[in-house]
Amino acid sequence: MRAIDRFDLYMKHKGLNDNKVTNQLKLSNGTIGKSRKDGRDLSDRVIEIIEKFYLDLNPEWLRTGVGEMLVPVPAGNTQVIGSNHGTAINGGDQTNIQDAEFRAYVFRKDAQVDELLAQNGKLIDIIQSLTKTK
């Protein structure tokens, strides 16, 4: 069984489809379906993206089939996050979030920051080209 086949099992278990996964992971359209259709496995890059986003998915199981599909998240494994915007004495509102959910959130925010930095670079190039023509 290939990693794509195991990931299909995970997707079914979680109620995910190719479109949702593609959007969540910011993959090129058809990446998952093409791997399946063409009889290819997922690339190492795609597997790494999957592992960083779906933190309850056991990476060893995804890559090799060894172990359980899901990594159990201990019930007491929570993290407190302060927002620092608020007037509460504690310095802002705080939310308990499961560690895995928090890491997935951070991964998504990192991807958004990367996208914004790329857009910023393009804007700087446009501004520089406009100022050179004057």
- Predicted confidence (pLDDT) per residue in 65-103, tens digit: 999 999 865 554 443 333 333 333 334 333 444 566 677
CA distance between the termini of the chain: 61
Mean pLDDT in residue range 6-27: 92
- For 104, the enclosing helix (H) or strand (E) is helix 99-132
Cβ count within 10 A of residue 86: 12
Task: Give the three-state DSSP class for 69.
Answer: coil
Amino acid in the structure at residue 20: K
**Mean pLDDT, residues 9-19:** 93
| Residue 132: per-residue pLDDT | 84
In whole angstroms, how large is the CA radius of gyration of the chain? 20
The whole-angstrom separation of Cα 15 and Cα 130 is 49
The string of DSSP letters for 7-37 reads HHHHHHHHT--HHHHHHHHTPPTTHHHHHHH
Does pLDDT of 111 surpass 80? Answer: no
CB atoms within 10 A of CB 32: 24
Span 3-64 CATH architecture: Orthogonal Bundle (1.10)
Instruction: Say how far apart CA 34 and CA 51 lie, in whole Å.
Output: 19
pLDDT at 78: 42
Q: Please answer whether residues 60 and 67 qualify as being in contact, where contact means their C-beta atoms are separated by less than 8 angstroms.
A: yes
Could you tell me the residue ranges of all domains in the chain?
Answer: 3-64, 78-132
Higher pLDDT, 22 or 74: 22
